[in-house]
Amino acid sequence: MPRPFYHPSLKEITLDGLLHALSDPTRRLILFNLIGCEGKSCSQTCDNLAPSTLSFHYKVLRDSGLVRSEKKGIEVMNVIRKDEIDSKFPGLLETIYNLQKTTVKRKQIA
Amino acid sequence: MPRPFYHPSLKEITLDGLLHALSDPTRRLILFNLIGCEGKSCSQTCDNLAPSTLSFHYKVLRDSGLVRSEKKGIEVMNVIRKDEIDSKFPGLLETIYNLQKTTVKRKQIA
């Protein structure tokens, strides 16, 4: 039996952990690819990374409370815990999502 | 002659660096103590840390672009680069400042 994934409860989720997880551009990309969908496999959110690197980033996202993962057959499906995060840390995801979009656009123009 | 402090230009300031610097509660405390004042010495923003620890946190804050420091006699005076950060990353400092206040309040109640 594979070990189940660890997911912190909402009470255990901290601003420190969220900001640390969000401080990496790859993790922001993965996370914001999960917005508005029912669940995506790891490779569907970011297809240009080595599996071990992708797995590491997903672990940080799960441990911080941003993502919930579930094994479905041979795949791992992921969802963003947006409603929970929004309820405890209002405005955080929206602000960083908007800034991320602007930053990516700025880089494309430069 | 002491070495002058390094401060990144606004162009060099990244969302990654800001979120990393802001992911530490002590650095958020120091930073938000600088809001609305003309400049404070290091010990005025946080008086319960060893000088080396405080110095480390200030270096991270400077390197990320959040704080500007200047030697004045035997003291180092610090200001938050709020207007610059707000112009490039609108909403970031305000959102995290509000969340920090709520988190501290929540801890005091618990």
CB–CB contact B103 A20 (8 Å) = no
Least confident of A30-34, A99-103, B59-63, B77-81: A99-103
d(CA A89, CA A65): 12
Displacement of CA B59 from its chain's centroid (Å) = 9
Per CATH, the number for A10-100 is 1.10.10.10
Give B-chain residues touching A19 at CB under 8 angstroms: 19-20, 22-23, 96
- Paired residues of A79 in beta bridges: A68
Tokens 């005091």: give the residue.
Answer: B108
Percent pLDDT > 70 in chain B is 96
Residue A1: pLDDT band with limits 50, 70, 90: low
Q: Return the pLDDT at A106.
A: 72
For A87, nearest residue in chain B (alpha carbons): B99
Give B-chain residues touching A103 at CB under 8 angstroms: 14-15
Q: Return the pLDDT at B47.
A: 78
d(CA A105, CA B25): 30
Q: Is the pLDDT of residue B91 over 90?
A: yes
Is B7 in contact with B17 (CB distance < 8 Å)?
A: no
Q: What are the structure tokens assigned to B28, written together?
A: 């958020």
Q: Return the pLDDT at B2.
A: 66
What's the whole-model pTM score?
A: 0.91
The DSSP letter of residue A13 is: -
Give A-chain residues touching B95 at CB under 8 angstroms: 91-92, 95
Q: Cα–Cα–Cα angle for B43, B59, B77, nearest 5°?
A: 40
pLDDT, tens digit, for every residue of A60-105?
999 999 999 999 888 899 999 999 999 999 999 999 999 998 877 7
Percent pLDDT > 70 in chain A is 95
Least Cα distance to A85 among A11, A27, A1 occurs for A11
Look at phi and psi of residue B5 and say left if phi exceeds 0, alpha if psi is from -120 to 50, else beta: beta
CB–CB contact B19 A22 (8 Å) = yes
Q: Return the pLDDT at A47.
A: 77
Identify the residue with better confidence: A108 or A95. A95
CB–CB contact B95 A95 (8 Å) = yes
**In whole angstroms, how large is the CA radius of gyration of chain B?**
14
